[in-house]
């Protein structure tokens, strides 16, 4: 099937080469974007132009920036319940969507990839005439695989803030499946992604300043830091991780390519990715052995494996109450680690629900229950041993028995 790509610059070319090597794909099928959310936007906009449907199946247990590309394109998110075994949509769950679907999002939450479940979801999506869009924001450089190769029609990867690559703050990549059924979509996606303009100089300058700005803001009192951050964002000298318009279903920028400086930041992290993933597998294996037996916390089955652990961005466990989750998180942070409460609230970090056609989250009881008790254990522990984290979880959880 015909493809085309236009990667400008040696650093960008190196990034796509590394991604292709890791996934057993072709470099010409990879395209770079300034942020992964804009890669999603291009994908949905191109699909909408070729298709006659307006609904995209996705989940509320996610970051709001994963849904903005749907609403900002003029499409309607059809929120479905997650399978708690992998915190993602399931093939059987698609039956709840009576509307014709343009696309289905397969989100690998925390980096959990269940190849068999993704294959089933792809088959169910394709049977309904929908395309499968893989969200690899938490696991760049990995794809759901089938017997004949990668499963998704489109796969979107993030190099952004608090993602897998430790030193990048911006950047992302989109893989277009050359074997997808629709040749028209394949060609249109490659053309659209190849034609993206590079980021303007002012935006690149803001991207360069982001890390030092964040360090300075973290040293300030909270109220002062908030005012300073808002001032920088307003005058264009800071590019926020999540803009205020994104909490209302919009996107502040047009899709664009990352430029050479942003691409260059990803190169050493991708070259050192094996060591990064090995350390995370070690943590996941220890957590699987030490925590999976606890009756008072729940761990998704697809995240558990001591023998063949996945290199998760975070290891998810779910306490019975928000209070228990906060207690566990506090004990882990006492070890000097950063333990987030990602996806609490749903559509993290909070949003104008009406902008997404939502009154409350009661329609998704599994997602709501998971969100209330979520604890995201770090997997990049530095000098801290995973066993110390396990002991902290056990001691805190016992207080709520």
Average pLDDT over residues 152-177: 97
Average pLDDT over residues 22-37: 98
Looking at the whole model, is its pTM more than 0.85?
yes
Which pLDDT score is estimated for 7?
54
Contact 316, 376 (CB under 8 A): yes
Domain spans in the chain, listed from the N-terminal domain onward: 10-194, 272-398
Contact 375, 318 (CB under 8 A): yes
Which two three-digit tokens encode residue 50? Answer: 């070729």
- What confidence tens digit (pLDDT) does each residue in 311-347 have? 999 999 999 999 999 999 999 999 999 998 899 999 9
* Pairing status of strand 55-58 against strand 76-79: parallel
- Domain 272-398: assigned CATH number: 3.90.1150.10
- What confidence tens digit (pLDDT) does each residue in 33-85 have? 999 999 999 999 999 999 999 999 999 999 999 999 999 999 999 999 999 99
For 40-64, b where at least 16 C-beta lie within 10 A, e where not — what string? bbbbbbbbbeebebbbbbbbbbbbb
Contact 157, 31 (CB under 8 A): no
Using CA atoms, how far residue 247 sits from 65, 250, 349, 356, in Å, is 8, 7, 8, 10
Q: Three-state SS across 106-174?
A: EECHHHCCCHHHHHHHHHHHHHCCCEEEEEECCCCCCCCEECCEECCCEEEEECCCCCCCCCCCCCEEE
Contact 232, 290 (CB under 8 A): no
Of all residues in the chain, the percent with pLDDT exceeding 70 is 98
Confidence category of residue 3, pLDDT binned at 50, 70, 90: very low
Nearest of 314, 302, 320 to residue 343 by alpha carbon:
314
Alpha-carbon gap, residue 95 to 114, rounded angstroms: 20
- What confidence tens digit (pLDDT) does each residue in 78-127 have? 999 999 999 999 999 999 999 999 999 999 999 999 999 999 999 999 99
Alpha-carbon gap, residue 369 to 148, rounded angstroms: 37
Using CA atoms, how far residue 166 sits from 159, 161, 282, in Å, is 9, 9, 17
Average pLDDT over residues 5-26: 89
Average pLDDT over residues 189-195: 97
Contact 55, 78 (CB under 8 A): yes
pLDDT at 304 over 70: yes
- What confidence tens digit (pLDDT) does each residue in 365-392 have? 999 999 999 999 999 999 999 999 999 9
Which two three-digit tokens encode residue 159? Answer: 């190099």
Which two three-digit tokens encode residue 11? Answer: 């650093």
pLDDT at 1 over 60: no
How many other CB atoms are found less than 10 A from the CB of residue 121?
28
Fold of 10-194: 3.40.640
């Amino acid at each position: 099937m015909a493809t085309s790509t236009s990667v400008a610059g040696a650093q960008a070319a190196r990034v796509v080469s590394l991604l292709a090597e890791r996934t057993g794909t072709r470099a010409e099928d990879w395209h770079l974007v300034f942020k992964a959310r804009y890669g999603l936007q291009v994908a949905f906009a191109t699909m909408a132009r070729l298709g006659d449907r307006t609904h995209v199946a996705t989940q509320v247990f996610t970051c709001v920036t994963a849904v903005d590309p749907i609403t900002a394109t003029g499409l309607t998110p059809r929120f479905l319940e997650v399978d708690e075994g992998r915190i993602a949509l399931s093939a059987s769950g698609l039956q709840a969507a009576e509307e014709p679907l343009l696309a289905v999002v397969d989100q690998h939450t925390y980096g959990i990839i269940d190849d068999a479940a993704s294959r089933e979801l792809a088959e169910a999506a394709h049977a309904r005439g929908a395309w499968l869009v893989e969200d690899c924001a938490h696991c760049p450089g990995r794809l759901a695989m089938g017997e004949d190769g990668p499963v998704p029609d489109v796969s979107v990867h993030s190099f952004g803030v608090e993602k897998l690559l430790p030193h990048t703050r911006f950047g992302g990549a989109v893989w277009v499946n050359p074997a997808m059924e629709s040749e028209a979509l394949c060609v249109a996606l490659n053309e659209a992604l190849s034609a993206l303009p590079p980021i303007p100089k002012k935006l690149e300058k803001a991207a360069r300043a982001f890390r030092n700005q964040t360090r300075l803001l973290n040293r300030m009192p909270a109220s002062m830091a908030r005012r300073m951050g808002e001032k920088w964002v307003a005058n264009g000298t800071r590019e926020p991780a999540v803009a205020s318009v994104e909490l209302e279903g919009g996107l502040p920028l047009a899709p664009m390519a990352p430029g050479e400086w942003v691409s260059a930041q990803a190169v050493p992290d991708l070259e050192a990715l094996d060591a990064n993933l090995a350390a995370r597998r070690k943590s996941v294996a220890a957590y699987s052995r030490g925590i999976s037996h606890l009756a008072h916390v729940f761990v998704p089955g697809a995240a558990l494996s001591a023998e063949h652990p996945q290199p998760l961005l975070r290891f998810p466990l779910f306490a019975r109450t928000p209070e228990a989750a906060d207690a566990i998180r506090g004990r882990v942070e006492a070890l000097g680690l950063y333990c987030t409460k990602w996806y609490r609230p749903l559509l993290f970090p909070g949003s104008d629900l009406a902008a997404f056609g939502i009154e409350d989250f009661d329609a998704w009881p599994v997602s709501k229950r998971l969100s209330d008790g979520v604890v995201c254990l770090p997997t990049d522990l530095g000098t801290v041993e995973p066993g110390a984290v396990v002991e902290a979880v056990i001691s805190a959880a016992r207080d709520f028995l």
